[in-house]
Homo-oligomer: A and B are copies of this chain.
Amino acid sequence: MKHDLFSPDPTPTAEIERIEAAYAPLTDAVRKLIDATIRSTITDEATLADAAAQITAITEKLASEQLPGAAGVHFNDEGRVWNWGNTVVGQRNAVAPPLRSEHRADGVHAQVSLGAAYEGPPGLVHGGVTALLLDQVMGQAAADRRRVLMTGTLKLRYRRGTPLGDLRLRAWIESESGRKVRVRAGIYDADGLTVEAEGLFIEPRMPDAGA
């Protein structure tokens, strides 16, 4: 299982982008398959068994050459970073809704559209999924595109149920002190705030390269 998870990778940016483009339609197709597996009203056993067998054959082909473990986070000497397996933003992870985000002067702004796979209470987003998305955008706001941080604490206040469908998220740095960054965030539907959050993110002590 053990392999290099966070070390420099010699792959040029152009090749990373070719691979991402080649996997984008596949990842999106898998995402739609997840949705159909939940929502289909077909209950004929032979049809379902046939679908499972076809999917297993595709998986065997893809997995015939694969990493020994998780995808990890990589960067090359052009400054390109890729984390294809990230649960929220991983470009090759069909579990990722996906979430689209951008850094602006006032923090991170993100958009997501959540379907049947993200349900908890009937018709509503799973409370834990709102936590998952908020943690991601808060971590991005804290990291501010210049450092690596870990979640220290996270507090969520659920104001009302978050409906499935189109949602926006915002996260911004409230204060910084040494290795600690305090972040606030919210998730919003068309009518406004549904869940608010505050978190403490911590910059780990890196080993001294000169030691």
Chain A residues engaging chain B, CB cutoff 8 angstroms: 5-6, 18-19, 22-23, 25-30, 32-45, 47-49, 51-56, 58-59, 61-67, 69-73, 83-88, 90, 92-95, 115-123, 126-129, 131-136, 139, 148, 150-158, 161, 164
Contacts and interface: CB of A to CB of B under 8 A. Distances in A.
Given A30-B30, A34-B94, A71 B5 contact: no
A53 to B, nearest CB: 8
Contact of A123 (B58, B70, B129): B70
A61 B87 contact: no
Contacts of A155: 153-156
Number of copies: 2
A29 B52 contact: yes
Contact of A161 (B23, B95, B150, B158): B150
Contacts of A161: 150
A61 B47 contact: yes
B39 A52 contact: no
